[in-house]
Amino acid sequence: MKKLLERARKKVDSAELFKVKSKTIPVNFEVNRLKSIDIAEQEGLALRIIHQGRLGFSSLSGNGDFDSILEKAIASSEYGAVSAFNFPPKMETKSKKRLEIYDKRVKNKSVEEMVGIGEKLIDQFRDFDPHLRIDLNILQDYSQIEYVNSQDEDFTYQKTTFSCSIMAQKVETKDILMVYDSISFGNDNLNIEELKAEIIKNLQWSKKIVPIKGGKMPVIFTPKAVITLILPILSGLNGKMVYQKISPFTNQLGNKLWGELFSLYNDGTIDFALGSAPFDDEGIETRRFPLVEKGVVKSFYYDLQTAGLAGVESTGNGIRSGIESEPAPKINNLIMEEGKVPFSEMIKDIREGIIIDQVLGLGQGNILSGAFSNSVQLGFKIEQGKVVGRIKDIMIAGNALTDLKNIVAIGDKARWINGQYKFPHLYLKELSVSTKSN
């Protein structure tokens, strides 16, 4: 890597190299049977340069010609954005905490063991209901990251991911029930029993279909569904959107927009969380910081370029979507602070309302304005403090910026979603619910 960097330095003002080697093994089951076992190994190299004050970028997958991507990066810099930053210098004092993101048990897990996990789960679901059709994925991933830049910053680390996702389907004459859930983390301690229990609970609640009238009513979002409300907030807190003045929070830093129950944190330092790493993808150390604290907008998240344009420091959120992409502001891990109210107590508090667990069309609506509109794929009706059955053919709509001002309670137990979001249950005083009949 350093030899390649020296070759680049002979032709450009400054540069960075980012290299990824990965091995992924997904084991897939469809309709209760083993469908496929794949092994995918990839290697890629990304080069970003600053040349004559402008940014250039190029990348390659596999074993390619470095001189070719160097020339492409130089050519792209002629039309590239004016650089608002310098590559970070080598850090003399790094965090004392050793971040755990690699588990050799995950890397060494055999395909036979992964197949065994899947087969056992399918048998357990079929014991619960022999009419269920189970699609299931067990995935093991290992990656090695290397980084070096012309300011002598360099690092390397290894990372593992282990995940299990399950779709339980039941097809009847006039109804298709789909209950989906997953669990992902960096170590070999997945609580698959908890995942199974959550799906079975939803299957039990789904046995009876009940009618519901539209209108304004109390709504509980499960941890899996909370992202529906948080996605517009997250987009608005993106430093690039703030700098471009298209975020609703552009002039709201330090202002209290929501109640004290609502707090959000970015944290790239949580052991084995999927968004954790010692550094972001452009050499800045990751950290924990508040985005929203007790309803107050505390900070935005930035990569180097956006931070430079805004006249602030990067928050360590320069993340690449892939080896072919330049870094952009993205969240490490997003944490919503837990409240004090159990999910069961929220249900008992509602005379008539609904629980939202799965939605379709995430991100639909004018997301930067806070608006959302989603069909409910899996939801349940509450009557007199009890879950009475599953609801169908309904939509929810609202605006996260205003609806989050109506939080009644936040759950006392947060749950990891996709290994990168940690949310509790969220109970809103009311939300607009529409049905086919209205």
- Residue 363: pLDDT band (50, 70, 90) is low
3-class secondary structure, 428: strand
Domains of the chain (ranges, CATH numbers) = 2-203 (3.30.2290.10), 208-278+333-438 (no CATH)
Question: Token pair for residue 279?
Answer: 């550094």
- Residue 365: pLDDT band (50, 70, 90) is low
Mean predicted confidence (pLDDT) in 251-271: 97
Q: Are strands 426-435 and 394-399 parallel, antiparallel or unpaired?
A: antiparallel
From CA 258, how far away is CA 244, in angstroms rounded?
A: 24
From CA 220, how far away is CA 53, in angstroms rounded?
A: 51
> Which long-range contacts does 108-112 make (Cβ < 8 Å, 24+ apart)?
109/140, 109/162, 109/188, 111/25, 111/27, 111/37
pLDDT tens-digit profile of 40-56?
999 999 999 999 999 99
Mean predicted confidence (pLDDT) in 225-249: 95
CB-CB contact of 219 with 356 (8 Å): yes
Mean predicted confidence (pLDDT) in 83-89: 95
Residue 221: other Cβ atoms inside 10 A: 25
pLDDT tens-digit profile of 323-360?
999 999 999 999 999 999 999 999 999 999 999 999 99
Q: What is the pLDDT of residue 325?
A: 94
Mean predicted confidence (pLDDT) in 230-235: 94
Q: What is the pLDDT of residue 198?
A: 96
Q: Give the side-chain half-sphere CA count within 13 A for 282.
A: 27
Hey, which bits of 250-370 come out as E strands? 264-267, 288-293, 296-297, 318-319, 328-329, 334-336, 352-360
Q: How far is CA 352 from CA 216, 355, 378, 399, 429, in A?
A: 10, 10, 17, 22, 11
Mean predicted confidence (pLDDT) in 399-415: 96
The residue to which tokens 């039941």 are assigned: 170
Element housing 176 (H / E): strand 175-185
Contacts of 364 (CB under 8 A, 6+ apart): 372, 373, 374
CB-CB contact of 396 with 432 (8 Å): yes
Q: What is the pLDDT of residue 174?
A: 85
pLDDT tens-digit profile of 274-288?
999 999 999 999 999
- Residue 206: pLDDT band (50, 70, 90) is very high
Position 94 pLDDT exceeds 60:
no
